[in-house]
Amino acid sequence: MTSHHSNQEADKRRFATKLLHYNNAVDEQTGASSTPVFQASTFHHHDIHNPPEFDYSRSGNPTREALEQYIALLEGGHRGFAFASGMAAISTAFMLLSAGDHVIVTEDVYGGTYRLLTTILSRMNIETTFVDMTRFDEVKAALKPNTKAVFMETPSNPTLKITDIALTAAWAKDNGLLTMLDNTFMTPYHQRPIEWGVDIVLHSATKFLGGHSDVLAGLAVAADAETGKRLKYLQNGLGNVLAPQESWLLMRGMKTLQARMEQSERSARKLADWLVRHPQVTRVYYPGLDDHPGREIHERQSAGYGAVVSFDVGSGERAKALLNGVQLPLVAVSLGAVESILSYPVMMSHAAMPREVRLERGITDGLVRYSVGLEDIEDLLEDLDQALHGLE
């Protein structure tokens, strides 16, 4: 398929422009203003001597391909891949490892990734050491003769701890380790890990990239050709690809990423400042706050603080009363959407984690996570204020 914009040209443009002008953003054949949905599982061989570019949709589909080139452009990587969910992308990347390998992972990694490592990959004899990645000495101390990879997530969920990406990636490279980073919370608008030396960037595109709580998807971007080739082999071999309709829907959402992230972040900063002063709130976590321990490192590697604010209201009873008291945000699992979403990690994302482990990681009974959407911030504050005043 020929392309309207070459990625080479697009690479030089600024982020907001890249979001609208990428390979196949305009259909070359018809001039249609969006990539067509190629709802086909297979492709006709017009001439058996010259097989078509696409031959079977698991191996390649033009709509999915447009999305894959799009995310590679945004992350500044060599090649992108689209999967049926964030966990499909993450589990596929872990399939680069073999039985007997060891991986170093941030201790407050996403719950689904924790489950994959501790209950599924462990059965395949892939061993994990969880470390506090805010402490580089812990990362270094976890190195073993069979260590093959380092998996980062920054800011982490839900207490928004910061890992120094460049420092960790450089050390990993010196030790011959593959580096992977879950960039779901920041998106390439705020943070582009490949620029800091990371080999594979992963996304739950279900969150900010899709942005509308209506599509489940995962993306991966390989920094170089060799890693890209290996991921392509796995994607085709495992078959956990994103369907054409979902690929189209995701591109449709991603076009407004910058506009959504900008407004949500502006509101999230206001919310964090407001919560710090609120008498019913005991603690606030947001990388943009002066007292956030990772703020300086975060500011070096990211262009913004994001739209997720976590805060503690003191007890489980009070957290539950707050969840029942709010009227505007969805009370739900997930984040990164046009509508605000309030989550309760203890009963949702971290329900499977033993209480002692959870408390050790700062995930207290009174902790809630607010993903700020596009509502008027004054309405969100008024709503939260009335719910907080209802607490005992």
Ligand X SMILES: *Cc1c(COP(=O)(O)O)cnc(C)c1O
14 is catalytic: no
Going residue by residue from 141 to 180, which x/- string records binding to ligand X, judged by CB under 6 A?
------------x---x-----------------------
Question: Which stretch, 22-30, 34-42, 200-208, 281-289, contacts ligand X (CB under 6 A)?
Answer: 200-208
369 is catalytic: no
Indicate which single residue of 86, 211, 244, 287 sits in contact with ligand X (rule: CB under 6 A). Answer: 86
Fill in the DSSP letter of residue 256.
T
DSSP line for 351-378: TTS-HHHHHHTT--TTEEEEE--SS-HH
Q: Is 247 a binder of ligand X (CB under 6 A)?
A: no
The closest alpha carbon to 252, from 34, 85, 70, belongs to 34
Q: Is 253 a binder of ligand X (CB under 6 A)?
A: no
Q: Find the shortest distance in angstroms from Cβ 55 to ligand X.
A: 28
Q: Closer to ligand X by CB, 65 or 182: give it.
A: 182
Give the footprint of ligand X on residues 26-85 (CB under 6 A).
85
Q: Is 207 a binder of ligand X (CB under 6 A)?
A: yes
Using DSSP bridges, classify how beta strands 102-106 and 283-285 pair: parallel, antiparallel or unpaired: unpaired
Q: Closer to ligand X by CB, 256 or 334: give it.
A: 334
For CA atoms 33, 245, 83, 152, the dihedral sign is positive
Beta strands in the chain (DSSP E): 79-83, 102-106, 127-131, 147-153, 178-182, 200-204, 218-222, 283-285, 308-312, 330-331, 341-343, 367-371
Question: Which stretch, 1-9, 158-166, 187-195, 203-211, contacts ligand X (CB under 6 A)?
Answer: 203-211
The residue with tokens 């910058």 is: 258
Neighbours of 103 (CB within 10 A): 23
Q: Closer to ligand X by CB, 148 or 207: give it.
A: 207
Q: Find the shortest distance in angstroms from Cβ 247 to ligand X.
A: 14
Count interface residues toward ligand X (CB under 6 A): 14
Task: Return d(Cα 150, Cα 165) in angstroms, integer.
Answer: 11
Q: Find the shortest distance in angstroms from Cβ 154 to ligand X.
A: 10
Provide the β-strand partners of residue 131: 106
Q: CB–CB of 227/340 below 8 Å?
A: no
Give the H/E segment covering residue 28: none
Q: What is the length of the chain?
A: 392
The residue with tokens 């739209």 is: 307
Q: Find the shortest distance in angstroms from Cβ 112 to ligand X.
A: 5
Q: Find the shortest distance in angstroms from Cβ 94 to ligand X.
A: 12
Question: Which tokens sit at 180?
Answer: 């992977």
232 is catalytic: no
Q: Find the shortest distance in angstroms from Cβ 89 to ligand X.
A: 8
Q: Which of 13, 27, 58, 320 is catalytic?
A: 58
58 is catalytic: yes
Q: Which residues are catalytic?
A: 58, 110, 182, 207
**Chain residues in the site for ligand X (CB under 6 A):** 85-87, 110, 112, 153, 157, 182, 184, 204, 206-207, 216, 218
